[in-house]
Amino acid sequence: MRFRLGLTGSIGMGKSQTAAFFAEAGCPVWDADAAVHRLYGAGGAAVGPIAAAFPAAVTDGAVSREALRGIIAADPGALARIEAIVHPLVREDRARFAECHPGAIGVFDIPLLYETGSEAEFDAVACVTVPGEIQRERVLARGTMSEADLDRILARQMPTAEKCARADFVITTDTLDHARAQVQDVLKEIERRTDA
């Protein structure tokens, strides 16, 4: 892969839409959440090791995310054990993806990029952001979680200001046109760097 761009940002910041703009511009995009779904699905590489560690988490040959959430809620040490199983498998999946796109500017959509210490694996990192009130509005409008759920998620994530300070590029997703224009600017800068 010619250039590896890590794409990160907290929940409700517009990361998926930004990834779609990179794909629209011709970049292959690897999605960490989709990779975990593959690993947890029937026949996925995580099913056996998770079943060995947490037999109740596997139903019909696939890992149940709902069961995992229950296990994590009941056992504070469970999350670290699950991550120790899943993170290396996710890294392998990511490496295979990169090998399949040798000349490309690849985009790696990773919500917890900084939290998992993965930033060193990329040539640059772009962080998506919007003001906190817009983030909260977007997430709660989905109707899938309460304010308390959102607060719990945010408490586990690095603050957005810190992510933005560490990133090479910051993309503000206040409007679709503004986000798309910034994606184009990021790609121009990457082209400039790789041509130099």
d(CA 125, CA 79): 26
Length of the chain: 196
Is 11:154 a contact under the CB 8 Å cutoff? yes
**Structural contact between residues 36 and 91, judged by C-beta atoms closer than 8 angstroms:** no
Could you report how far apart the first and last alpha carbons of the chain are, in Å?
Answer: 17
Judge whether 17 is annotated as a binding position: yes
93 and 35 Cβ atoms separated by less than 8 Å = yes
Residue 106, annotated ligand binder? no
Please list the residues that pair with 63 across neighbouring strands: 58
The annotation status of 14 as a binding-site residue, yes or no, is yes
15 known ligand binder: yes
Do the strands 62-63 and 58-59 form a parallel or antiparallel pair, or are they unpaired?
antiparallel
Q: Report the alpha-carbon angle 30-125-157, nearest 5.
A: 85
1 in a labelled binding site: no
Q: CA 74, 77, 83 angle in degrees (round to 5)?
A: 110
- Residues at the binding site are 12-17
State the binding site for ATP. Answer: 12-17
